[in-house]
Amino acid sequence: MTSMQLGLIGLGKMGANMRQRVRAGGHEVVGYDPRPEVTDVPTLVALVDALEAPRVVWVMVPAGEPTRETVRKLADLLGEGDLVIDGGNSKYTDDQPNADLLAAKGIGYLDCGVSGGVWGLENGYGLMVGGSDADVERAMPIFDALRPEGDRADGFAHSGPVGAGHYAKMIHNGIEYGLMQAYGEGYDLLEAEPLIENVAGTLRAWSKGTVVRSWLLDLLVKALEEDPGLQEITGYTEDSGEGRWTVEEAIRHSVPAPVIAAALFARFQSRQDDSDTMKAVSALRNQFGGHAVRRAD
Amino acid sequence: MTSMQLGLIGLGKMGANMRQRVRAGGHEVVGYDPRPEVTDVPTLVALVDALEAPRVVWVMVPAGEPTRETVRKLADLLGEGDLVIDGGNSKYTDDQPNADLLAAKGIGYLDCGVSGGVWGLENGYGLMVGGSDADVERAMPIFDALRPEGDRADGFAHSGPVGAGHYAKMIHNGIEYGLMQAYGEGYDLLEAEPLIENVAGTLRAWSKGTVVRSWLLDLLVKALEEDPGLQEITGYTEDSGEGRWTVEEAIRHSVPAPVIAAALFARFQSRQDDSDTMKAVSALRNQFGGHAVRRAD
Amino acid sequence: MTSMQLGLIGLGKMGANMRQRVRAGGHEVVGYDPRPEVTDVPTLVALVDALEAPRVVWVMVPAGEPTRETVRKLADLLGEGDLVIDGGNSKYTDDQPNADLLAAKGIGYLDCGVSGGVWGLENGYGLMVGGSDADVERAMPIFDALRPEGDRADGFAHSGPVGAGHYAKMIHNGIEYGLMQAYGEGYDLLEAEPLIENVAGTLRAWSKGTVVRSWLLDLLVKALEEDPGLQEITGYTEDSGEGRWTVEEAIRHSVPAPVIAAALFARFQSRQDDSDTMKAVSALRNQFGGHAVRRAD
Amino acid sequence: MTSMQLGLIGLGKMGANMRQRVRAGGHEVVGYDPRPEVTDVPTLVALVDALEAPRVVWVMVPAGEPTRETVRKLADLLGEGDLVIDGGNSKYTDDQPNADLLAAKGIGYLDCGVSGGVWGLENGYGLMVGGSDADVERAMPIFDALRPEGDRADGFAHSGPVGAGHYAKMIHNGIEYGLMQAYGEGYDLLEAEPLIENVAGTLRAWSKGTVVRSWLLDLLVKALEEDPGLQEITGYTEDSGEGRWTVEEAIRHSVPAPVIAAALFARFQSRQDDSDTMKAVSALRNQFGGHAVRRAD
């Protein structure tokens, strides 16, 4: 294994864990974060100075403007032969503009989808990368440190050119929406049926041997052990963008995606106090059939 | 036009209006209802006695056991050559058993789907009938009185043998679910968009000339005039069975029915305070990503 | 009624009918189209010259670049005090840029959603307009000529500022997708059920009095009369964009739109020879259960 | 471990593997199947005779009438104190009648959902059981032989009274539909996107560390290795009933199940040459807008 230096920008929940895992892999990591209590260096300039050229800098900040702004700064601070990797959940359409901006200064660019959440520190992260073969090759020691142990191909892929890594991660998350909703519907049905006196045990019995066994199922079993009947929480569920983008891609490619769309809409629904759609339906039933409506207050 | 006698059992919201419309059509109607203030005769026996054989008796009572019980009583009270018409929202699978029971006594049977709601008194009712040609022919003066004026085929169909009338009505109602949900979603989207300053006016502008013009749209416009912004009601929406049966038929016939199923599920959703499905999804997001859940209370 | 002059650009299926209807309304219309056999004037310049200032010019060309290009040309050719109306199916996001471009020359702008298809010539068109009160007032004689006869509010709305007209039309078309799919699913179920011996007659019996009566239903009845069993056509169904945009708006506004999305996906599906999604599902069933797959060729 | 005798009826793909696994667990298995080449005994009577009372007999024949018929025969052949386990994919509504029939002879009954497919021989089977505590306890050595090694609770649950085992298995399979469809949609989207040059590798990179890792994903990776691009198969996908039942249960319990329903409908769709629904939609577009239809032939 080649030991490398890595600059890592963004030491939040994900970034801090990744710093730890890359260091455990035998590499030197210089981390930067605006919060003094977690950062290794006081400024971005100091981070760049702390690395020997040619540098590799991993960006792990919130998607959208924060990531684009960081890339713009790096385009100023880095130089010919350096390499930037965006490991956040950026939309894939940000990647080519980022790559172009950096390429104008002779700086390379990779986009890397990272999956694994808070468990990645221990289990390793699944990685999907977009960019050139040469850039991927160069950063491979870092990818090898981050990915799960075992066969590289089970936790790492070079998915295609710039943009492919984030595209793959977006689809990964779209699938994730569908999987979670499928387990959720099944859980709801088990809870609804009086015959099933042992919902949590039934789900746990699917952990091994069955067709539906998965890591998400393991987590659902764990959640039910920690909060039997999920009585401490509500169904209010946020979404962080990738599910929306996946459905937009389905539209762009004319690919039917009823399951992923249904999972996305269920989240929207979970955040509504009431539904204008259903008010209209209820009003219509009242109009044509005299069916009772439920009055507000 | 031939003037007829008709026995009519069930003088609720629909039945009372139908009595009025059939009478306005020049027929004699003897109505029976357990409520003394609306009934024409004190008992079912009195109703049968008041009619000259061969009798035609229209049943307009709640679907399910009440209708089946009424048919059983009529099988006892009526005789050879009489005819029973079930005009309620019975499940089509009740029709053949009802017909068989009556046929054993020489009594004919028709099932008739009736659409039009509280407006049918004025506009006439759309009718879909199942049964034999001879029985249909015999009851035609009543059907002609109930259906809208104009061409018979625009408001009446002999859809097929016994069961076909209720089957057609069930599908009619399944479509109705889909139509209402489509208007509801569109209304919701107009309400959500700040550019649309005039939601009610926009919907009303679709009343004539447009592709989406319909009676349901007219009713939505009317509802919004009566309750601007639908502020007086909630989205809680009941269902009375035909939507469920339609989806079950879709399953039985292996016909995809995503729109009707989505409309049905939206009603289920509207009646839930919270969703076990979404609790599971939210719990999973918390488990793998440390994403915040919304705590109960 | 005030008689006006109108310039009309685009004399396709819709534009030619609209020219005829506006003329029938007592106005002077100068139409331009690149096809010599339909145009009134040889060039756009000639059209502008043929109109007295202040001019009103209606653009009725394909949405997207053709409309944007026409607006750019009009920004050059028209002048202070003139008014442009985009009556095509432009995406609402094109409207403000178009309005800004024209406003820089002192030219007004309205966006007008137009519904009615090939029947609008006879029935009038439903109109939804976005723009300023003053501009709307000025073009009102043209709107009055185009809209259905009767109460103005039943076929015309000033929906809001620039963009609101096309937004409303987009949602109108999204609803249209849902309505058509609902009727389609119902038709499919009637066709699948042997009890229904008279599918076309059953649908026609819904034309009057029923809850599902609508213009689209009338058209379905007509289609079935012209092509019994719809045996001459396939289910391959195009889409022209508004359905996609509607689902994208649902995503943007976090509004669940399961029915409109399902209708859109059904069209995508109708155009696929085979589905990669279902290949994956079939392959999975084979992997875990040894279930037979259907081999290609 | 207690060594037991087990009678096993049905030695198909599943039954034969289970005989092997139970024997490997140290138990004596007497298998019966009408096919002479696989059976251990020539007749059902011989099977019963080969077992010492009190007997335990596992039924592993096709769901529906074959299973019900087998249970009727066993009610005749077995006696007081014996125990029947239905391990097939019976509908849960068959269980109580089966249990009642057997109970009248003093014979116990358990229903056991079995998941694991052709891989169960090697990995063990996930088991969900319905019935009394005493009957479950008695058959536990067999369950322990069949389930995966390790913690019993990870592959076995006593879900509730008679019927609960098959109910749980039905929901398991409903979830399975949703999971497969989610992966399928994701695969379809990756295939549709030119940026993703390495679809199979991308999916494989999700095998470890990611949120979507699962056994089904492993199988999809394997399928793509065996048939790159899934070019040898079509998307035609059968269903064996549990998905339909799950949606019917969702309807019965008023639980929204949009994802499982969408997955079921996608299978229906995959088996259609053309869609009457979409023919109607296409005919409507032609009627109102003059849009082209695609002609049959």
Predicted confidence (pLDDT) at residue B170 exceeds the cutoff of 80: yes
In this predicted model, what pLDDT tens digit does every residue of B240-280 receive, in sequence order?
A: 899 999 999 999 999 999 999 999 999 999 999 999 999 99
Q: Which two tokens stand for residue C3?
A: 């008689």
Q: Give the C-alpha separation, C279 to C295, whole Å.
A: 10
- Cis? peptide before B54, omega within 30° of 0: yes
- State residue C1's pLDDT score: 60
- DSSP letter for each residue of chain D: ----EEEEE--SHHHHHHHHHHHHTT-EEEEE-SSTTT-SSSSHHHHHHHSPSSPEEEE-S-TTHHHHHHHHHHHHH--TT-EEEE-S---GGGHHHHHHHHHTTT-EEEEEEEE-GGGHHHH--EEEEES-HHHHHHHHHHHHHHSPSS-GGGTEEEEESTTHHHHHHHHHHHHHHHHHHHHHHHHHHHHH-TT-S-HHHHHHTTSSSSTT-BHHHHHHHHHHHHSGGGTTB-------SHHHHHHHHHHHTT---HHHHHHHHHHHHHT-SS-HHHHHHHHHHHHHH-PPPPBP-
In this predicted model, what pLDDT tens digit does every residue of C200-214 receive, in sequence order?
A: 999 999 999 999 999
Please check whether residue A90 is in contact with residue A111, taking contact to mean a CB–CB distance below 8 angstroms. Answer: yes
Q: Give the C-alpha separation, B177 to A277, whole Å.
A: 12
Predicted confidence (pLDDT) at residue D12 exceeds the cutoff of 80: yes
Confidence of residue D118 (pLDDT cuts 50, 70, 90): confident
| In the block, residue with structure tokens 């000025």 | C138
CB contact under 8 A, A261 and C266: no
In this predicted model, what pLDDT tens digit does every residue of A131-152 receive, in sequence order?
A: 999 999 999 999 999 999 999 9
* Nearest by CB: A248 against C251, C257, C258: C251
Q: Give the C-alpha separation, C169 to C175, whole Å.
A: 10
Confidence of residue B31 (pLDDT cuts 50, 70, 90): very high
CA nearest to D188, candidates D216, D226, D230: D230
Q: Which two tokens stand for residue C20?
A: 């005829």
Q: Give the C-alpha separation, B50 to D149, whole Å.
A: 77
Q: Which two tokens stand for residue A271?
A: 């955040």
- Which residue type occupies C190? L
> Which ipTM value was assigned to this complex?
0.96
Q: What is the mean pLDDT of chain D?
A: 97
Tell me the chain C residues in contact with residue D234 when contact means C-beta distances shorter than 8 Å.
274, 279, 282, 293-296
Over the range A255-286, which residues count as b (16 or more CB within 10 Å of their CB) and which as e? bbbbbbbbbbbbbbbbebeebbbbbbbbbbbb
CB contact under 8 A, C270 and D290: no
Q: Are strands B83-86 and B126-130 parallel, antiparallel or unpaired?
A: unpaired
Task: Write down which chains contact chain D via at least 3 CB pairs under 8 A.
Answer: A, B, C
Q: Give the C-alpha separation, B245 to B253, whole Å.
A: 12
- State residue B1's pLDDT score: 59
Please check whether residue B173 is in contact with residue C238, taking contact to mean a CB–CB distance below 8 angstroms. Answer: no
Report how far apart the first and last C-alpha atoms of chain A are (Å, whole number).
Answer: 68
CB contact under 8 A, C277 and D181: yes
Q: Which two tokens stand for residue D195?
A: 């940026």
Predicted confidence (pLDDT) at residue D297 exceeds the cutoff of 80: no
The total number of residues written for chain D in this structure:
297
Q: Give the C-alpha separation, D270 to D282, whole Å.
A: 19
- State residue A290's pLDDT score: 86
CB contact under 8 A, B256 and D244: no
C–D: how many Cβ contacts below 8 A?
A: 211
B146-to-A218, A287, B133, C164, D295 alpha-carbon distances in Å: 61, 20, 19, 44, 40
CA nearest to C118, candidates C229, C267, C232, C222: C222
Q: Give the C-alpha separation, B178 to C205, whole Å.
A: 19
Q: Give the C-alpha separation, A288 to B14, whole Å.
A: 12
* Nearest by CB: C266 against D223, D277, D284: D277
Predicted confidence (pLDDT) at residue D1 exceeds the cutoff of 70: no
CA B188 to chain centre: 26
List D28, D105, D176, D249, catalytic entry:
D176
- Cis? peptide before A66, omega within 30° of 0: no
D281-to-C184, C270, D290 alpha-carbon distances in Å: 6, 10, 13
- Longest Cα–Cα distance in chain A: 77
CA nearest to C3, candidates C137, C101, C129, C140: C140
Q: Measure in Å the smallest separation between the Cα of C135 and chain A Cα atoms.
A: 32
Instruction: Please give the share of chain B, as a percent, with pLDDT higher than 70.
Output: 100
Q: How many CB atoms lie within 10 A of CB A152?
A: 15
Helices (H), chain B: 13-24, 44-50, 65-77, 95-103, 120-123, 133-146, 164-192, 199-204, 215-226, 242-252, 258-270, 276-289
Please check whether residue B22 is in contact with residue B142, taking contact to mean a CB–CB distance below 8 angstroms. Answer: yes
Question: Which phi and psi angles does D39 have, rounded to 5°?
Answer: -80, 155
In this predicted model, what pLDDT tens digit does every residue of D32-74 receive, in sequence order?
A: 999 999 999 999 999 999 999 999 999 999 999 999 999 999 9
Confidence of residue B291 (pLDDT cuts 50, 70, 90): confident
Q: Give the C-alpha separation, A55 to A50, whole Å.
A: 10
Give Cβ neighbours of residue B172 (< 8 Å, ≥ 6 apart): B113, B115, B126, B128, B242, C186, C206, C210, C211, C212
CB contact under 8 A, A259 and D115: no
Question: In A, residues 20-79, which contact D (CB 8 Å cutoff)?
Answer: none
The mean pLDDT value for D137-149 works out to 98
Q: Measure in Å the smallest separation between the Cα of A85 and chain C Cα atoms.
A: 29
Give Cβ neighbours of residue A19 (< 8 Å, ≥ 6 apart): A8, A11, A29, A31
- The single-letter DSSP state of residue C295 is B
Question: In D, residues 192-221, which contact B (CB 8 Å cutoff)?
Answer: 211
Q: Give the C-alpha separation, D109 to B283, whole Å.
A: 36
Confidence of residue B287 (pLDDT cuts 50, 70, 90): very high
User: Chain D contact for C187, CB < 8 A?
Assistant: yes
In this predicted model, what pLDDT tens digit does every residue of C180-190 receive, in sequence order?
A: 999 999 999 99
- Which residue type occupies D6? L
Please check whether residue D259 is in contact with residue A183, taking contact to mean a CB–CB distance below 8 angstroms. Answer: no
Sheet containing strand D83-86, edge to edge, reads D28-32, D5-9, D56-59, D83-86, D108-115, D126-130, D156-160
Task: Write down which chains contact chain C via at least 3 CB pairs under 8 A.
Answer: A, B, D
Beta bridge partners, D86, equal D59, D111
| In the block, residue with structure tokens 């295609």 | A160
- State residue C217's pLDDT score: 98
Predicted confidence (pLDDT) at residue D220 exceeds the cutoff of 70: yes
Residue in chain B nearest A231 by alpha carbon:
B296
- State residue B115's pLDDT score: 95
In this predicted model, what pLDDT tens digit does every residue of C105-151 receive, in sequence order?
A: 999 999 999 999 889 999 999 999 999 999 999 999 999 999 999 99
CA C170 to chain centre: 8
Residue in chain B nearest A191 by alpha carbon:
B276
Predicted confidence (pLDDT) at residue C20 exceeds the cutoff of 80: yes
Give Cβ neighbours of residue A122 (< 8 Å, ≥ 6 apart): none
CB contact under 8 A, B254 and D277: no
- Which residue type occupies A104? A
Confidence of residue D205 (pLDDT cuts 50, 70, 90): very high
- DSSP letter for each residue of B88-140: S---GGGHHHHHHHHHTTT-EEEEEEEE-GGGHHHH--EEEEES-HHHHHHHH
Tell me the chain C residues in contact with residue D236 when contact means C-beta distances shorter than 8 Å.
278, 282, 293-294
- State residue C278's pLDDT score: 97
Q: Which two tokens stand for residue D105?
A: 């002879």
The mean pLDDT value for B166-185 works out to 98
Q: Are strands A108-115 and A126-130 parallel, antiparallel or unpaired?
A: antiparallel
CB contact under 8 A, C265 and A261: yes
Q: What is the mean pLDDT of chain C?
A: 97
Which residues of B are the active-site residues? 169, 176
Beta bridge partners, B32, equal B9
Q: What is the mean pLDDT of chain B?
A: 97
Predicted confidence (pLDDT) at residue D289 exceeds the cutoff of 90: no
Give Cβ neighbours of residue D65 (< 8 Å, ≥ 6 apart): none
Confidence of residue D240 (pLDDT cuts 50, 70, 90): confident
The mean pLDDT value for D5-21 works out to 97
Question: Which phi and psi angles does B128 have, rounded to 5°?
Answer: -125, 125
Q: Give the C-alpha separation, D200 to D211, whole Å.
A: 18
In this predicted model, what pLDDT tens digit does every residue of C32-75 receive, in sequence order?
A: 999 999 999 999 999 999 999 999 999 999 999 999 999 999 99
CB contact under 8 A, A294 and B267: no
Confidence of residue D249 (pLDDT cuts 50, 70, 90): very high
Residue in chain A nearest D187 by alpha carbon:
A171
Q: Give the C-alpha separation, A99 to A113, whole Å.
A: 16
Confidence of residue C297 (pLDDT cuts 50, 70, 90): confident
CA C76 to chain centre: 28
Q: Give the C-alpha separation, B261 to D257, whole Å.
A: 9
Q: Give the C-alpha separation, D137 to D129, whole Å.
A: 11
In this predicted model, what pLDDT tens digit does every residue of C239-257 receive, in sequence order?
A: 989 999 999 999 999 999 9
Torsion of CA D219, D224, D225, D226, to 10 degrees: 90
Low-confidence ranges of chain A (pLDDT < 70): 1
Please check whether residue A283 is in contact with residue B227, taking contact to mean a CB–CB distance below 8 angstroms. Answer: yes
In this predicted model, what pLDDT tens digit does every residue of B80-112 receive, in sequence order?
A: 999 999 999 999 999 999 999 999 999 999 999
Report how far apart the first and last C-alpha atoms of chain D are (Å, whole number).
Answer: 68
Q: Give the C-alpha separation, C47 to C39, whole Å.
A: 10
- The single-letter DSSP state of residue A241 is S
